[in-house]
A and B are shown apart, each in its own frame.
Chain A
Amino acid sequence: MTQWGFLVDERKCTGCKACEVACKQRNKLEPGGPRLRRVQVTESGEFPDTKVVRFSMSCMHCADPACMKVCPANAITKDEDGAVIAHRDKCIGCHYCFFACPFGVPQYREDDGTMIKCDLCADRRTMGLDPACVHTCFYGALKAGPLNELSEMSQGTAQPFTSDTQPSVVTIGHED
């Protein structure tokens, strides 16, 4: 298995949220419901030396996913690209995955009482299409693919996102 993941280039992201809109559309999610990709905006410092950071985040598709380990219904698995998939047909909506995930990623779906999270656009991958969020980004700030290729492509500028769960996300320009 080659672990897939995302490259998030914070230098390039302008916070346009086209990725958010694409994700909602691909997942047929109504406004008000879960938002599987969200652009986090943080401001620090004082005008005019303000620093604005924009980070487009969904599931980290961890190599060692905490969510999967705690799920009592075995509803979370990793697919052949290493994408962490929450199976809607098995999920009992207990929220354990939400509490276990260091990033609070899985969200509750009121309409059928299950948890939902990014599946790295499994159906689109099957058809040879980019994930919807990646496809739409005008700025080259979001990419998906085998993690080692993403790192190589950045020529060493991308840093892995660190956590015990070994997230499959590399970032450029990220400062903790």
Chain B
Amino acid sequence: MSSSLLCTTACSADAAAEGASDITANVTDAISDGNPYGADKIVPVICTCGDVCGMVHTANAYVKDGAIVYYEGNADGNNAGHLCPRGMAGLEIINSPNRIKYPMRRTNEKGVQGEFERISWDEAIETVTDAIVTAINESGPRTVAFGTASAHPGNQMLEVGGAVMRKLFNFDTGSGPGGCWNDLKIGPVATLGDMYHALEHDPFHSKLIIFWGDNSAMAKPQEWGASWGEAKFEHGAKIVSIESRISETSEKADIYLPVRPGTDSYLAMAMANVIITEGLQDQEFIDKYTVGYEEFKEVALRYTPELVEQITWTPADKIREVARLYATTKPAMIEIGRGGNQTGGKNSDAGWMMGRAVTCLIPLCGQVGVRGSGLSLETSVGAFNGNIFHWNMGKTYSAPTNRVKPLFETDQKAASGVWGTSKVLYERDPYGYRVFVTNGNVAGSTGDYAKAEAAFKQMDLVVMHNRIINWTGSAFADILLPACSWAEEYVWRPDWEYSGVSAPAIDPMFECRNDLDIFRTIAITLANKLNLGLSDEEVWPWATDKDFMAQILCNDDIKAEFQKRVDEGKEKFAPFAEGDIDFIASQAFGVPNPYYAGQEEFLPYQAKYYTNNGAPADDPEALWFPTDGGNGKALFKADFLTTASNGVLPALPIPCEPQDSYYAEGNPIESGNWELSDTVKNGYDFVAVGKAHQHWQFLSFNQDMDGGPGSRLLREAFETASMPSCLLNPADAERLGVEDGDTVTIESLYGKIEGVNVILSQTVMPKTVVPPAHWAPAQTKLYPYSLSLERLDPSVRGAVLPPVVGPFSDGGTKRTSGGAQNCQSGVLCKVYKA
């Protein structure tokens, strides 16, 4: 950690010795003869406030008489005692008056804020399992959706538990929203063969860092504090921020480049244009390590800064400045975030094309192979095996599912996962869902609200198991089941380097049960009702959530693999090979992920690491990119994209408009038609700027029954959290006759949000609007339900990425891509006074 807090301990201890501070002031409860706050014990708990930043952060729960009396960051965790505002509001969520305390049944109509009455656990489980049995018998098991993958559960065990339920009973996934970052991998993998995330100290070697659609200063507090920010403040790295609004990261940048949402690929090609026309490209690198430069150059030469400025709204002189800077400053790193890939749409490649075009700048300038250069993708996706975590999924994540067998077979088949949400939930094709069991917030975060509402309303039974209710539960649940918070259950939280585990600090509050216990109870009751003649253990082999976790993290396969690394001298963290869950839980910092361990020789900026897959053995210094085709070259022209997609996807990074095109025939440079689209001409002339993150909320997990944030302190702290609000540039507001604090309607082709509070801000680009984010159902109403790669035949969707190669490959399996939910940014809209 960079932020060495000034140690106050010594000074205060002296003060205490001289006579305690006068404490008749406000609060005095930290003072005690024993632990601060008179705690019987101080228990480390992994912060899983639900809106996880993707990293392992540990809090301290000060427990007195079985209750948490104080809560703050744990100084031994890798968060070094700090918590972000959401984490800091964690205790408020745990103690929220709106916790689901008991099983409840709906008493009012669906579609509006819910009203519920208390029922017993027995009655709740009877109701849920009766409905499932009826659905299975009458319509088949896949009409039951067990959608625990929807929204982020924080506690990773939930996803695995849900997967076991689905395997046992052949339930459908019913998940959503679908991997909002999934598209981030397609572009980089096509160009460079893999995706990377900078290790903590890599940026210290960068002279220039370009944050492209990436608001790390806000989205990754620890990373900014200990890595990127430190690169700037302590090591003098120059920062460029390319964003559609002035974000927290843009504020800290030396140079800010505005870009119309969804047009990042044009901007990247304009930079390539400057670099090539001014002869700044690294020709030696290009000749030696790349494929398709001449064709790429031909495209780039069409994208002059002056033409692109008209499209992206980025000043041409600034495009030139940044292009020159990137080509001539070595080493320079590009960090790509979700800002660009959230655009696009069913019929547009604008989302994933962002990463594709931007990563072409890297080989163009030979910014590879040296520490501080290369690519870094937003943390959670930075893993070489194509999954989130650096380990073999078969031996960890899938261990519980591998242990169980389906209890019966079914012929029903339909797309599952994000595709299932679209087909089965929204289109009710081919069967539609009758029972939906989830902790997620599908109706609060997917898009196309009218369809979601209709789908939820026609179900026999909707069940929400959660800590607080969220909009999906509030508007549509028939039954609420009270789930434990992260302080009341075993928690497993992996990030890309460490796995954190914590044991419960307190007993379950009220009548809450941990989610694994809820799954187990439902599974066993169902098996009995279906007369399967199985013992409890045959249905669900784990008695407790702790047993379940041990199956994932401390199974024999993992231990053997870890021990092998230790024996080879590649892993120094030996205790894990012997360890059990109690041991892991005792490590506030977490333990190295099993398959990350011993891989310290892997350096994200060095593509040459992949030496065992065709790289020249006689030239160990040579770079070797694990791209499709196995020739080790970076691909300006990626032919496999075209072949694998049956000709749908372009091999070259040709920019395109988002689904709501600003121009009549899409990309005006390619079409030659600069006429504005009918949508713009019809008055939808504002471009919506989406927000994947904001300080007070990341995903939609800790959402309260009114659709807003669960923490009242966060509502108080941020105006945008206190009511659905939009941000407008003052010049646009004047044109619309709107003032700060007015109420407006924002309307897109897909729906409208009414009653939106206006906040005027010069951080907003003219002609754009930042609509309410993380308010349900507001945001869901503005966007379509849209998945990238939807144009591809389902049979080829999974094949647009090459297999994982190199020593960390698990045998050459294909990476999964499948596209992602997008179009949450770049939608055209109207803003008008109510």
* Chain B contacts with A in 61-92, Cβ cutoff 8 A: 71-73, 79, 81-85, 87-89, 91-92
Instruction: Determine if B11 and A16 form an interchain contact, defined as CB atoms under 8 angstroms apart.
Output: no
Residue of B nearest to A144 (CB): B8
Could you say which of B11, B20, B88, B225 contacts A21, with CB atoms under 8 Å apart?
B88
Given A17-B696, A87-B25, 19 new contacts (CB under 8 A): A11-B233, A15-B248, A15-B695, A17-B85, A17-B695, A24-B716, A35-B716, A43-B763, A47-B258, A47-B764, A48-B246, A79-B22, A85-B22, A122-B21, A135-B72, A137-B3, A138-B222, A140-B3, A144-B8
- Chain B residues with Cβ below 8 Å from A126 are 12, 15-16, 20-21, 23, 30-31
- Chain B residues with Cβ below 8 Å from A50 are 246, 762-763
Could you say which of A24, A47, A129 contacts B766, with CB atoms under 8 Å apart?
A47
Given that A32-B716, A127-B32 are contacting pairs, would A25 and B92 also be in contact in the complex, using a CB cutoff of 8 Å? Answer: yes
* Nearest Cβ on chain B to A52's Cβ, whole angstroms: 5
- Report how far A22 CA is from B225 CA in the complex, Å: 18
Could you say which of A12, A14, A31, A143 contacts B715, with CB atoms under 8 Å apart?
A31
Given that A16-B695, A88-B26 are contacting pairs, would A135 and B31 also be in contact in the complex, using a CB cutoff of 8 Å? Answer: no
Instruction: Determine if A136 and B6 form an interchain contact, defined as CB atoms under 8 angstroms apart.
Output: no
B251 within 8 A of A: yes
- Chain A residues with Cβ below 8 Å from B79 are 138
- Chain A residues with Cβ below 8 Å from B762 are 43-47, 50
Instruction: Determine if A80 and B11 form an interchain contact, defined as CB atoms under 8 angstroms apart.
Output: no
- Report how far A118 CA is from B32 CA in the complex, Å: 21
Instruction: Determine if B81 and A139 form an interchain contact, defined as CB atoms under 8 angstroms apart.
Output: no
* Nearest Cβ on chain A to B495's Cβ, whole angstroms: 15
| Range for the number of chain B residues in contact with chain A | 35 or more
- Chain B residues with Cβ below 8 Å from A85 are 21-22, 24-25
Residue of B nearest to A145 (CB): B6
Instruction: Determine if B36 and A16 form an interchain contact, defined as CB atoms under 8 angstroms apart.
Output: no
- Chain B residues with Cβ below 8 Å from A128 are 8-9, 12-13, 16
Q: Specify which of A18, A45, A85 lies most central, judged by the most chain B CB atoms within 10 Å of its CB.
A: A18
- Chain B residues with Cβ below 8 Å from A43 are 761-763
- Chain B residues with Cβ below 8 Å from A12 are 229, 233
Given that A47-B765, A88-B25, A122-B21 are contacting pairs, would A2 and B3 also be in contact in the complex, using a CB cutoff of 8 Å? Answer: no
Residue of B nearest to A26 (CB): B27
Interface string of A26-53 (1 = CB under 8 A from B): 1110011001000000011111101010
- Chain A residues with Cβ below 8 Å from B712 are 31
B221 within 8 A of A: yes
B622 within 8 A of A: no
A67 within 8 A of B: no
* Nearest Cβ on chain A to B720's Cβ, whole angstroms: 12
* Nearest Cβ on chain A to B47's Cβ, whole angstroms: 12
A166 within 8 A of B: no
A134 within 8 A of B: yes
- Report how far A49 CA is from B116 CA in the complex, Å: 51
- Give the B-binding residues of A (Cβ under 8 A): 2, 7, 11-12, 14-18, 20-22, 24-28, 31-32, 35, 43-48, 50, 52, 77, 79-81, 83, 85-89, 116, 119, 121-132, 134-140, 143-146, 149-150, 153
Residue of B nearest to A45 (CB): B762
* Nearest Cβ on chain A to B53's Cβ, whole angstroms: 10
Q: Specify which of A25, A132, A153 lies most central, judged by the most chain B CB atoms within 10 Å of its CB.
A: A25
B800 within 8 A of A: no
- Chain B residues with Cβ below 8 Å from A144 are 6, 8
Q: Specify which of B21, B217, B233, B251 lies most central, judged by the most chain A CB atoms within 10 Å of its CB.
A: B21
- Chain A residues with Cβ below 8 Å from B729 are 47
B5 within 8 A of A: yes
- Chain A residues with Cβ below 8 Å from B763 are 43, 47, 50, 52
* Nearest Cβ on chain B to A173's Cβ, whole angstroms: 10
Instruction: Determine if A16 and B16 form an interchain contact, defined as CB atoms under 8 angstroms apart.
Output: no
- Report how far A135 CA is from B583 CA in the complex, Å: 27
Could you say which of B21, B85, B761 contacts A80, with CB atoms under 8 Å apart?
B21
Instruction: Determine if A127 and B761 form an interchain contact, defined as CB atoms under 8 angstroms apart.
Output: no
- Report how far A135 CA is from B79 CA in the complex, Å: 11
B224 within 8 A of A: yes
- Report how far A26 CA is from B12 CA in the complex, Å: 18
Given that A14-B218, A128-B13 are contacting pairs, would A28 and B27 also be in contact in the complex, using a CB cutoff of 8 Å? Answer: yes
- Report how far A73 CA is from B226 CA in the complex, Å: 47
Closest 5 CB pairs of A and B: A140-B3, A138-B221, A123-B30, A138-B82, A31-B712
Given that A122-B25, A123-B30, A126-B30 are contacting pairs, would A153 and B6 also be in contact in the complex, using a CB cutoff of 8 Å? Answer: yes
Given that A48-B256, A79-B21, A149-B6 are contacting pairs, would A127 and B31 also be in contact in the complex, using a CB cutoff of 8 Å? Answer: yes
Residue of A nearest to B2 (CB): A140
- Report how far A126 CA is from B22 CA in the complex, Å: 9
Instruction: Determine if A25 and B713 form an interchain contact, defined as CB atoms under 8 angstroms apart.
Output: yes
- Report how far A126 CA is from B3 CA in the complex, Å: 23
- Chain A residues with Cβ below 8 Å from B12 are 81, 125-129
Instruction: Determine if A119 and B6 form an interchain contact, defined as CB atoms under 8 angstroms apart.
Output: no
Residue of B nearest to A137 (CB): B82
Instruction: Determine if A124 and B30 form an interchain contact, defined as CB atoms under 8 angstroms apart.
Output: yes
* Sample (8) of A-B pairs whose CB atoms are under 8 Å apart: A12-B233, A14-B221, A21-B713, A81-B15, A135-B81, A140-B2, A144-B6, A150-B6
B718 within 8 A of A: yes
B717 within 8 A of A: yes
Instruction: Determine if A80 and B18 form an interchain contact, defined as CB atoms under 8 angstroms apart.
Output: yes
Instruction: Determine if B23 and A18 form an interchain contact, defined as CB atoms under 8 angstroms apart.
Output: no
* Nearest Cβ on chain B to A83's Cβ, whole angstroms: 7
Instruction: Determine if B251 and A52 form an interchain contact, defined as CB atoms under 8 angstroms apart.
Output: yes
- Chain A residues with Cβ below 8 Å from B793 are none
Instruction: Determine if A123 and B28 form an interchain contact, defined as CB atoms under 8 angstroms apart.
Output: yes
- Report how far A92 CA is from B170 CA in the complex, Å: 69
Interface string of B210-230 (1 = CB under 8 A from A): 000000011001101100010
* Nearest Cβ on chain B to A124's Cβ, whole angstroms: 5
Residue of A nearest to B232 (CB): A11
* Nearest Cβ on chain A to B166's Cβ, whole angstroms: 37
Given that A28-B27, A126-B15 are contacting pairs, would A138 and B84 also be in contact in the complex, using a CB cutoff of 8 Å? Answer: yes
- Report how far A137 CA is from B85 CA in the complex, Å: 9
* Nearest Cβ on chain A to B695's Cβ, whole angstroms: 5
- Report how far A138 CA is from B87 CA in the complex, Å: 11
- Chain A residues with Cβ below 8 Å from B711 are 21
Residue of A nearest to B696 (CB): A17
* Nearest Cβ on chain B to A75's Cβ, whole angstroms: 10
Instruction: Determine if B73 and A24 form an interchain contact, defined as CB atoms under 8 angstroms apart.
Output: no
Given that A31-B712, A50-B762, A126-B15 are contacting pairs, would A16 and B8 also be in contact in the complex, using a CB cutoff of 8 Å? Answer: no
B279 within 8 A of A: no
Residue of B nearest to A11 (CB): B233
* Chain B contacts with A in 14-64, Cβ cutoff 8 A: 15-16, 18-32, 36
- Chain A residues with Cβ below 8 Å from B229 are 12, 139-140
Residue of B nearest to A139 (CB): B225
Instruction: Determine if A145 and B22 form an interchain contact, defined as CB atoms under 8 angstroms apart.
Output: no
Residue of A nearest to B53 (CB): A138
Residue of B nearest to A34 (CB): B26
Residue of B nearest to A39 (CB): B717
- Chain B residues with Cβ below 8 Å from A77 are 22
- Report how far A48 CA is from B222 CA in the complex, Å: 27
Could you say which of A7, A18, A116, A129 contacts B30, with CB atoms under 8 Å apart?
A129
- Report how far A86 CA is from B27 CA in the complex, Å: 11
- Chain B residues with Cβ below 8 Å from A124 are 30, 36
- Chain B residues with Cβ below 8 Å from A123 are 21, 23, 27-31
B714 within 8 A of A: yes
Could you say which of A2, A14, A47, A79 contacts B246, with CB atoms under 8 Å apart?
A47
* Nearest Cβ on chain B to A79's Cβ, whole angstroms: 5
Interface string of B490-513 (1 = CB under 8 A from A): 000000000000000000000000
- Chain B residues with Cβ below 8 Å from A27 are 26-27
Instruction: Determine if B21 and A14 form an interchain contact, defined as CB atoms under 8 angstroms apart.
Output: no
* Nearest Cβ on chain A to B64's Cβ, whole angstroms: 15
Could you say which of B252, B256, B713 contacts A24, with CB atoms under 8 Å apart?
B713
Instruction: Determine if B20 and A116 form an interchain contact, defined as CB atoms under 8 angstroms apart.
Output: no
Residue of B nearest to A149 (CB): B6
- Chain B residues with Cβ below 8 Å from A32 are 716
